[in-house]
Structure formats: structure tokens, C-alpha cells
Amino acid sequence: MALNEEAVKHHERNDIEAQEILLPEKLEDLSLELEQKLNISSKEVRSELSKAADNLDAVLERLKHKLSEELCSFKGIPGYKEVERYWVNEPYSFVVILYNEDKNDYLYYVVEPELSPLEKFLLAEIKSKVKSALLFTKIEGADKEEILKNKIDEVLRDYGIELDNRTYRKIVYYIIRDFLRFGKIDVLMNDPYVEDISCDGWDTPVFIYHWEYGNIRTNIKFSRRELDSFVIKLAQRGGKHISTSDPMVDVALEDGSRAQLTLGMDVTTRGSTFTIRRFREILITPVDLIRWKTFSLESMVYLWICAENNKSMLFVGGTASGKTTSLNAVALFIPINAKVVTIEDTREVKLPHPNWIPAVTRDVFMAQERGKIDMYDLLKAALRQRPEYIIVGEVRGREAQTLFQAMSTGHTTFSTFHADSVDAAIHRLEYPPLSVPRSMIEALDVVSVQAQTFVGGRRVRRNLEIVEILEIDPTTRNIKTQTVFSWDPLTDSFSFMLPSLSASKCLRDIARFRAWTEERLEEEFRRRKALLEYMVKTGVSPEEFISIVHSYHAKPEKTLRRLKIEW
């Protein structure tokens, strides 16, 4: 690569100034030698050598390809045809998606370097020696892989083991994979298309949720012993402890993924299990949610105006329906200078706000004698931190009452809650163990209901409805609600359910507070819709999205003019 960069530089110089050909250091000596031996002009030698340097990159590519073919090969599975394949860690591992038409069965096949029986034996031996050698040294710091590689070399030297290059590379790959990365599931943890990974017991295939193919079986399996020790290791890596006396643990892994773990057969009868929710590096914005048709442009404009104007919201839905993702996306609409506190069990919400306190609960095991800090403790502390917006990752325990108290005392809160509908949510909130008084539920403004559902056979996430909490009916004492937007599964489209914008309680309140006339409210709605539409069409990055939204908050007209948006 360095040679090639030099060559490119040389060409540039040559083109511009037609000056002397510069060669990389090593070729420089060779050039002198050739000049003397062949008695030809330095220019000619130099030009020949520089062409050779140019070709080196292509040669390198070819070698890399050859190496990868040598390291791992895949010959197919009878009955299955290959749908696609892609590298995850070139040249060490790739994934093949296979499909069996008769069984309508997809398979996610991980291909890693193949080991001969002798190589397997060597790997086990070297691994155990490296393990003992590491008892006295900790692998820390930025270049962990380099340190481990040096350790492997040391062990090989000490024991006089000589390996050919190919075997050496395979052994280093597996030791790094198992010591520093995620072992057998490392490829799954590095494939950007994998959302969830779940292992339901030993000797059964690990399943994944693939961005394109949905739930799909993999060719990875754990033996009973392997699985137990893997689950214990995952817990440790998340800084927690799992044991037969405490066999269920939730952890956040170092890459931000979340794992739910169970150990042994007491609680899960097929043996230890793990479920990993992969962390998405990339921030999902409202623009993404509109592009994926989870929300309509209009419903997002509505949530934008509500979020910016201190309306409290609850995102409800089933497991993995995308509640936290939607909450995070809508939270990007919070005015950039507002003070925000987030309270979560594991860090999921990501915000650009400079005045943001991200708080995370602490388990007894992590804290040792210093005791446990749960959502309730954090929420009480948060109220003393005088935040304008409080985001509670998921409400499920004694923090519920405090959260609704915070709402009734003028804080804006965003939160997620496990329930399939607004009625179910209100019911669960009101009854034990949460027991939130009905008069406090009235302080909640908006409920957004989300679900995983099917459209044309594809699994998608949709915002089923957005509902406003109105008031308690004085005669029946029931909580009155009204639906603002609703999704129609037949047409996969969203409808605005009210006669006018000002029929919405939230928008009416906001308009009154801001002294907007009905026309002004409608204009505000149109402008924001045009702005969001512009961002959906041009496909902005999360950073651009954040900057455009906050520039609109500060200077609406100027922002629209700058982007040449008509409304």
C-alpha cells in the first residue's frame, strides 16, 4: 500500500512538473544497482521500477484473494441454493445465505477458516498455554490484539513450535476470536445485518434476526459445557455475575449490545440461554422512520411539535416493536439547549444535547457493598437536578408513580411501556403493582402505539396509532382519549382522524400558549412537513438532521430559505 501511495504521488508530481521520478526507499537502492549493472539511464530504470510499484497493489489484492480462498472455503449444502454471500471479516470469515425451496427454509451459514485434526489439537494446546501465560499479564490498552499476538509468538518460541504461515494465521484468528471477541458468535456480532441473536439451549442452532431475511437459523451450535461457560463469560464481560443461585441476568456488553442471560436448567429447561439485542452504531432519526414507513410525515410533524413544546409521551408496544428507537428519534426534536436526564437499565438512548445527564441503574452485584440503585432512586435524584425533559428507558416498577408525579408537577417525560394498546397500557398502569392514580395518568399527553406486523409477507414495524389523553369523564370517571392518527393495515397507510388540527388537544394547547391563530398553526404544520419531506427526499445523515432541526428552531424562515424549501 505504501509503495502504491508513493507511486501515485510520483505520478502526480510527474504530471504537473515532469520532474525526476521519485521512488520508495527500497526501490531507490535497487535503481542505483541496476543503473550501474545495466548501464542504462537512471530515468529509464526509474520509470520501469515505478511501473512495477504500480502493479504491486494489484498483486497484493490477488494474494489476499488467494489467501482467503486458502483460509476458508464453502462448497455448498445439498438441497440449498446460495442466495448471497458477503465478507464479515475479510479474509477470515464470510456469510452465505442459503435457501431450500421445498422446505421454504433459509439458512445463515458462517464460514470460518477450516482446521485439520492436527490444527485443532495445536489450537487447543496453544490456547491453554497462552491462557496460563496470561494469568500474570492483563491484556489492556488500545492494542489488545497486538499484545495477544506477541503472547502467542512467545508461547510458540518457548515451546519450540514451528507453524507454517497458513496454520499460524488460523491459530491467531481463533485465539483472538475467543479471547478478545465474541467467540463462536463473533461473526454474528460483527455482521451489520444482524439485529438479534438468540440461543435457546445447547445442541440447538443459534437463531438470528436478519435485517433482510427476518428470523433465520444459523449453522452455529453450542455444546452444553461450551454454552454454560460462554454465558458466564458474557456476564463477566458486562461486569456482572451469574450463578446457579442467581441464574438470570441482564447485561450491557462493551459494544453497547444488550444481553439477557440464563444459566443452567432451573429457569430454562433446555439449558443456559442468551439473547443479544445488537447495538446500532448509527442513530436512527425520524427521517429513517418515515422512510421505513413506520410513521407518516404528518404523524412525525405532530410528534415534533409536541416534543418541542413539552408534551409528555409514552411509547407503547410489544417486545422489540421499536419503542426505544422511536422514543430516541422523537427525542432528537427536544430543543438543543434543554436540560435532559435519561434514566435506563442499560444505555440505549443517544442524544446530541450538551446539557444531558445519562443515568444508568446499578445492580447489587456490580456495586458490592455500596448497594443497588434502581430507576426509582435515579428518578428521585433526577427531579432534584431540575431537568426540563426526563426520559425513562422503560417503565415497569415502582418508578411508575414517581414518573407520573413528575409529569403532574410540570416535567416533560418520554418513556416506553410494554403493552399492546392504549387501553391495556392504562389498565396496567392503574392496577397493582404499578398503581398509578387515575388523576395522575391524566397528566400524560400522548401515547404512541407501535407493533411488529406484516405487510405483503414482510415483517415491518408500524405506528398503529397516536392517541391523546383528554381528561377524566366527570360522570363515568373513565379516562377519555382521542385518536389523532391511525394506521390502516389493508392499504398500509396512515390517516389523520380529527376534523382539523385544532381539534387536537395538544396542538390546541400549544397554539394557545404560543398565541398562534388556527391559520398560524396550520402554516407551522405545513412548513415542518415540507422540511421533513425535504430531508426524507434528500436523505440526510443524523448529524445533518440534528443541525437542520435545531437551525429551524432558532431561525425558521432563514432555514427554509437557505434550503430553498417552499411550503
User: By the criterion CB under 5 A, which residues form the site for Mg ion?
Assistant: 323-324
Say whether residue 294 binds ligand ATP (CB under 6 A): yes
Quickly count helices (H) and strands (E) in the chain: 20, 18
Say whether residue 104 binds ligand ATP (CB under 6 A): no
Report the nearest approach of Mg ion to the CB of residue 331 (Å): 13
Report the nearest approach of ligand ATP to the CB of residue 291 (Å): 10
Say whether residue 322 binds ligand ATP (CB under 6 A): yes
Comparing CB distances to ligand ATP, the nearer of 271 and 317 is: 317
Comparing CB distances to ligand ATP, the nearer of 411 and 462 is: 462
Say whether residue 31 binds ligand ATP (CB under 6 A): no
Q: Which residues in the 171-200 window bind ligand ATP by CB under 6 A?
A: 195
Report the nearest approach of ligand ATP to the CB of residue 395 (Å): 11
Which pairing describes strands 458-472 and 446-455: parallel, antiparallel, or unpaired? antiparallel
Which three three-digit cell numbers place residue 444? 400524560
Amino acid at the residue 175:
I
Residue 136 region, left (φ>0) first, then alpha (ψ -120 to 50), else beta?
alpha
Comparing CB distances to ligand ATP, the nearer of 455 and 554 is: 455
Name the residue among 362, 370, 364 with its Cα closest to residue 344: 362
Rounded distance, CA 384 to CA 224, Å? 49
The one segment of 58-66, 167-175, 218-226, 323-331 that binds ligand ATP by CB under 6 A: 323-331
Q: Which residues in the 458-517 window bind ligand ATP by CB under 6 A?
A: 461
Report the nearest approach of ligand ATP to the CB of residue 453 (Å): 11
DSSP state letter for 368: G
Report the nearest approach of Mg ion to the CB of residue 348 (Å): 7
Residue 412 interface partner, choices ligand ATP, Mg ion, none, CB cut-off 5-8 Å depending on type: none
Which three three-digit cell numbers place residue 38? 545495466
Say whether residue 347 binds ligand ATP (CB under 6 A): no
Say whether residue 285 binds ligand ATP (CB under 6 A): no
Rounded distance, CA 546 to CA 542, Å? 6
Say whether residue 319 binds ligand ATP (CB under 6 A): yes
The one segment of 103-111, 316-324, 491-499, 513-521 that binds ligand ATP by CB under 6 A: 316-324
Say whether residue 272 binds ligand ATP (CB under 6 A): no
Q: Can the peptide bond before residue 286 be classed as cis, meaning omega within 30 degrees of 0? A: no
Rounded distance, CA 378 to CA 383, Å? 9
Query: Using the rule CB under 6 A, which residue among 325, 402, 412, 413 binds ligand ATP?
Result: 325
* 3-state SS, residue 34: helix
Q: Which residues in the 368-407 window bind ligand ATP by CB under 6 A?
A: 394
* 3-state SS, residue 215: strand
Residue 325 interface partner, choices ligand ATP, Mg ion, none, CB cut-off 5-8 Å depending on type: ligand ATP
Rounded distance, CA 34 to CA 40, Å? 8
Quick one: three-class SS letters along 269-323? CCCCEEEEECCCCCCCCHHHHHHCCCCCHHHHHHHHHHHHCCCCEEEEECCCCCH
Q: On the CB side of 8, how many CA atoms lie within 13 Å of its CA?
A: 7
Residue 463 interface partner, choices Mg ion, ligand ATP, none, CB cut-off 5-8 Å depending on type: none
Residue entry with cell 409528555? 312
Comparing CB distances to ligand ATP, the nearer of 152 and 391 is: 391
Binding site for ligand ATP (CB under 6 A): 195, 280, 289, 292, 294, 317, 319-325, 394, 416, 461
